[in-house]
Structure 1
Amino acid sequence: GGTVLITGATGALGGLLARHLVTEHGVRHLLLVSRRGPAADGADELHRHLSELGAHVTLAACDVADRTQLDTLLAGIPHDHPLTGVIHAAGILDDGVFTTLTPERVSAVLRPKADAALNLHEATRDHNLTLFALFSSIQGLLGGAGQANYAAANVFLDALAQHRRAHGLPAVSLAWGPWAEGGMAAGLDEADRNRFARLGMVPIAPQQGLELFDAAVSLGLAAAVPLPVDGAALRARAADLPAPLRGLVRGGPRKAVAGAPTAGDAGRPSLAERLAGLSPDEQEDRLVELVREEVARTLDYGGHDAVEARRGFKELGIDSLTAVELRNRLNKATGLRLPATLVFDHPTPEAVARLLLIELAPKAEATDAATGPAVPAAADLGEPDIRRMLATLSLDRLRASGLLERLLDLAEPAPADLAGPAAAAPEATDLDIDALDVDALVRMARESHDS
């Protein structure tokens, strides 16, 4: 019989698959490849177990992304047991939000998956293969948060399988969902698993995964998505699901157009409207509570009481993936467009709440003005009225609204060639603006205007 080559073979999935090929498909010659080969943890035990099952096993250390190493490996396959199958199951993760992905971090993920797959394709193109299976991931379809590099690598595998099929070569790319044991899901924590569960993805049990592998290979298609789903969970979140999953829900709710009110929002005041009329301290307290609530939902905590306002997001359990999910939740809750780096730039719930206050305060004030008692026209206000109204505003409010900069522009000293007291005024750059009270700011503005 022929030889089947498996990359990533000393990992949990590689070993599981190797045993399956021997016991269920009668494969008797295996070339098991990994970065460490025989030196990998568990390699000796795997070799012994497969040998006891009647297979001839070769364990090899090879960087398949290095074409020279791969050619040397393939040249060593016995002519009486030629290569007839390839299963590419190697890969690594290096998650991070897009702005933190350096070329080195992108290459570290693409190389063992995409570069190695391309080498396998080119090096075996003239072999008489009956199987060329690529282990891709559902993240290539869904665009997993914080996994741009990993998603790109998997999309490449999907495209390579299409290319091979178009040229009459065998190929199937399997976009796996999360495995319960082994695979890329082995490094997921409880929060990650809960996030998958909310999307209706059911972890793949080992035996179920092997059955899905056999089914996918037998389809004769270039791509397959082995993904058990929880129908009830999908229906419960139909409007928020990624498009590929949303299509699995029959008669699910249509996704609302961005910015359009939903049925649940009808008659409900916006966050800015709810903040209107509150004091600055009350507004900040409400926003801190909001952020804590969304952190608790993101991490599946029992409630926001478990989220300390001044504790770092990293300590709370937020990573690059959940950071994007939290940002998306806050976008929806506030109506703002917050950056993907939100929790890295503002590393505590309290810090994020202060940013939200700066962003929302002008809207809240505008709402308050629109719904509150009529304000006299500016022409009808005297200096005492203006001073009294300005005295209610903090410097933070003035900065957030842009009025502080306008006041400073108005308060610039007169040109040096002008006579009079204004010409002798100190330059604005010499003043400690934060130390000025409202009276001083108004006086500066009036003197500039009068001059």
Structure 2
Amino acid sequence: AHVARRLAARGAGHLLLVGRRGARAPGADALRAELEESGAVVTVAACDVTDPERVTELLAALPADRPLTAMVHAAGVLDDGVLDSLTPARLAGPFRAKVTAAGVLHETTAHLRLSAFVVFTSVMGVVGNAGQANYAAANAALEALVASRRADGLPGTALAWGAWAAGEGMLDDGVAGRLRERGLPSMEPAAAATAIERALGEDDALVVVADADWRRFAGTAGPRAATLLSEVTGRDEDNDVSRPAVSRGAFGDLLAAVPAAERKRFVTDLVRTHAAAVLRHTVPDSVRPERAFTEMGFDSLTAVELRNRLAAATGVRLPATVLFDRPTPAVLAVHLLSRLGAPGEPGSQSGPG
């Protein structure tokens, strides 16, 4: 809708708005009326753009005096979850909406003299994000399609968006809030849409459009993203805050200084402190040692965030599922003690992280 408004305001004579539900989509009639008031002729069509036959029929039905001259693919599907929870079906959903659809549009319009072929991707396909492996991969594949088109002399522009404001974009308030805490606040869509014109005017292949505190984001996104963003943030690898704040040996030395009888409480309090920070609680007392993480509101994304925090604090590498395998702060603390080989801790063991 925002792209259509922008195109109408810039004098587009005919807008073909395509979706699976066509005119039955919520708000379609109101949007068409608004665009027509701007002077544009508007056609709203129902079509599954992952079906080559349907798309070919749609293009063939266009009047000769209204040929297709530019294309914007703005569809997307989210099915977030940590890597261990992904299945072929969960991978297929985002790929169908992103890659399959764009591939069909590429093939069915390759013979046309398009002035623009614009695809909406995501900043998550550029830098990655916990819990979005399928969505990130689909968007990266879309950017590869654009690169292939340009290599063949065809127009192509990929816009890797940051989060759009809740209610206008694909994120709910909870996910939008977590991204904001990590340095990626939501953008106002009307302002973001101006980036399309600039990218086309400068003939860019890939443009990241995001309201971002890259230094803050790099500090929470893991070493790969931090390395990628080092030129933007001015952070070199030795100063990368996404790496463990202490080595495993250093934390082990710290723990060894704590009386043996106090070590479990010490590590439990560490877990509770970081869990409270992830849940945006002001004090760790709100996180009870024997209460399950799932009962506190942890999901797959916040579980990864806590895992990353604890790994940075202790130097111990932990799997993404550790909060579900060790379901309470007290149980997780015992597991950390065992992994650290804490002196005097029954059942402790040394070994690779």
Contact kept in structure 2, 1:37 and 1:61, CA below 8 Å: yes
> C-alpha separation between the residues in 2 aligned to 1:340 and 1:231?
24
Q: Does 1:212 align with 2:172?
A: no
| 1:281 positional shift | 5.4
**2:67 aligned to 78, 82, 95, which one?**
82
Contact kept in structure 1, 2:230 and 2:236, CA below 8 Å: no
C-alpha offsets along residues 379-432 of structure 1, whole Å, 9 cap, x if unaligned? xxxxxxxxxxxxxx8xxx24x449xxxxxxxxxxxxxxxxxxxxxxxxxxxxxx
- Flag the structure with more relative contact order, 1 or 2, with Cα contacts below 8 A and sequence separation at least 6: 2
Contact kept in structure 2, 1:309 and 1:348, CA below 8 Å: yes
Aligned to 1:320: 300
Aligned to 1:6: none
> C-alpha separation between the residues in 1 aligned to 2:13 and 2:52?
26
**2:159 aligned to 174, 179, 188, which one?**
174
> C-alpha separation between the residues in 2 aligned to 1:244 and 1:46?
40
| 1:278 positional shift | 4.8
TM-score (norm 2): 0.88
| 1:261 positional shift | 8.7
Which secondary structure does the structure 2 equivalent of 1:270 belong to?
Answer: helix
**1:291 aligned to 250, 261, 271, which one?**
271
Query: 1:149/1:53 Cα in 2 relative to 1: closer, same or farther (>3 Å)?
Result: same
Contact kept in structure 1, 2:74 and 2:119, CA below 8 Å: yes
Q: Does 1:307 align with 2:292?
A: no
Aligned to 2:24: 39
| 1:36 positional shift | 1.9
Aligned to 1:141: 126
**1:62 aligned to 31, 47, 54, which one?**
47
Contact kept in structure 2, 1:141 and 1:244, CA below 8 Å: no
| 1:43 positional shift | 1.5
Aligned to 2:330: 350
Query: 1:99/1:75 Cα in 2 relative to 1: closer, same or farther (>3 Å)?
Result: same
C-alpha offsets along residues 283-313 of structure 1, whole Å, 9 cap, x if unaligned? 2222221111112222332231222323332
Computing the radius of gyration from Cα coordinates, the structure with the larger value is 1
TM-score (norm 1): 0.70
| 1:322 positional shift | 2.0
What is the one-letter code of the residue matched to 2:132?
Q
Aligned to 1:203: 186
Aligned to 2:310: 330
Contact kept in structure 1, 2:244 and 2:313, CA below 8 Å: no
Aligned to 1:109: 94
| 1:179 positional shift | 1.4
Which secondary structure does the structure 1 equivalent of 2:50 belong to?
Answer: coil
Contact kept in structure 2, 1:143 and 1:151, CA below 8 Å: yes
Task: Determine what percentage of the aligned residue pairs are the same residue.
Answer: 42
Mapping 1:209-288, distance limit 5 Å: 209-230=192-213, 233=216, 242-250=226-234, 252=235, 254-255=237-238, 270-276=250-256, 278=258, 282-288=262-268
Query: 1:315/1:77 Cα in 2 relative to 1: closer, same or farther (>3 Å)?
Result: farther
> C-alpha separation between the residues in 2 aligned to 1:235 and 1:98?
20
How many positions carry a matched residue from both structures?
349
> C-alpha separation between the residues in 2 aligned to 1:232 and 1:356?
29
RMSD of aligned residue pairs (Cα, Å): 3.0
Where do 5+ consecutive residues of structure 2 fail to align?
A: none
> C-alpha separation between the residues in 1 aligned to 2:3 and 2:119?
13
